[in-house]
Amino acid sequence: YHINLFHLSGIRLAPKEKLEIPVLFMPAEMKIYKAVVVIHVMRENGENWPYEVTGESDTDLNRNVIVAENGETQGILWIYPVNGTPEAPKQKSVVIRCQARQRLEQRVELLLIGVMPDAGNSATADTEELSSTPEVTDGSSATLEFLYELQYQSDEIRYQLESLVGMELVEKEWDTESRIVTLIFNVVFAPSKPMRSEATLVIQCTAGGLWKFPLVFIATEPEVDDVINIEAVGLNKESIVGFKLTSQTR
């Protein structure tokens, strides 16, 4: 595997002692990598545990014990699956600018470099919360599917932007020779007041690979609503003009 697991043997552990196992992940391509960490423990003196595995024993434990000829436990196995997801280098920020109290609809093109054809791998558990998108076909047997989600740095920013921003994947282009996928999003931004907020568009390919695109949403000062003219009725005398203000929220 490309996930390198260091072979450790003959390590002596005292009761309650912790063991750190180094795992090095150096992906060569944007695809899913899988490996398994296996830990085998035995008594230092070579003796068995008196625990006997029976039909009524815990089924999970039964699968992970090594039983001697006399029925006693000779060793115990712990098996940890490791899934590696390559992540592309941080991309440049995409700035989306709109005047407050206006509505902007903008097409944004994002390039995913190094996309691998789908070899039948399924998405990992980390992608369950991402939004599923239609499949992309390159004209041959390879089919690609992408998941995307807009993530925020804090709940406060989420509350501020969630109702103001909308994103939809509208088009995909797959170049098999260069292995570059172009995703075209339709972004809607309708700010109600001047602001500057950031978010991250996270895109994952089910064949493997993770891309993150920083987005900066900027709302500039709105247009002047109206000009109020006050005509004086005389020197040192008050002139009054009334006007209405309507709240945008409750």
Instruction: Check residue 68 and give its pLDDT.
Output: 75
- From the list 22, 18, 20, 19, the residue with the least C-alpha distance to 5 is 22
**For the chain, how big is the Rg over CA atoms in Å?**
30
- From the list 148, 205, 175, 212, the residue with the least C-alpha distance to 30 is 205
Instruction: Check residue 108 and give its pLDDT.
Output: 96
Burial class (CB in 10 A: 0-12, 13-18, 19+), 206: buried
Q: How far apart are CA 180 and CA 51, in angstroms?
A: 57
Q: What is the pLDDT of residues 69-118, one digit of tens each?
A: 777 778 888 888 998 989 999 889 999 999 999 999 999 999 998 888 76
Helix (H) or strand (E) holding 62: helix 59-63
Domain ranges of the chain: 1-30+33-84, 94-116+145-220
Instruction: Check residue 123 and give its pLDDT.
Output: 44
Write out residues in the chain with pLDDT < 50, as ranges: 1-2, 121-128, 132-142
Which region, left, alpha or beta, applies to residue 15 given φ > 0 means left and ψ of -120 to 50 means alpha?
Answer: beta
Domain 94-116+145-220, second-level architecture: Sandwich (2.60)
Instruction: Check residue 60 and give its pLDDT.
Output: 59
Q: How far apart are CA 169 and CA 184, in angstroms?
A: 6
Q: In the structure encoding, which two tokens stand for residue 20, read together?
A: 């750190």
